C-alpha cells in the first residue's frame, strides 16, 4: 500500500519539507518503519 502513495505524493521529502507539509510519515519512512518492524518480528521468532 505504501508504494501506491508515490503515485500522488512525494515518497522521499526532505526533513523540513516533511515537517511542514506532512501530518504523518512520508512513504519512504512508512516503508522503513514496516521493514524494521518485520525484521524485529523475525528476530524474535524461535
Q: Model's pTM, two decimal places?
A: 0.55
Question: Rounded to whole angstroms, what are the CA distances from 8 to 11, 13, 42, 44?
Answer: 9, 13, 32, 36
Report domain extents, the chain: 2-44
35: confidence class by pLDDT, cuts 50, 70, 90: very high
Q: In terms of C-beta distances under 8 Å and separation of at least 24 residues, what long-range contacts does 30-34 make, across chains too?
A: 30/2, 30/5, 31/2, 31/3, 34/2
How far apart are alpha carbons 12 and 3 in whole angstroms? 12
pLDDT digits (tens, 9 = 90+) for 9-34: 666 777 787 778 777 777 778 888 89
8: confidence class by pLDDT, cuts 50, 70, 90: low
Buried b (16+ CB within 10 A) or exposed e, 31-44: beeeeeeeeeeeee
Amino acid at each position: 500500500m505504501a508504494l501506491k502513495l508515490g503515485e500522488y505524493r512525494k515518497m522521499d521529502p526532505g526533513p523540513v519539507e516533511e515537517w511542514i507539509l506532512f501530518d504523518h510519515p512520508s512513504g519512504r519512512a512508512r516503508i522503513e518503519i514496516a521493514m524494521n518492524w518485520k525484521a524485529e518480528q523475525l528476530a524474535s521468532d524461535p
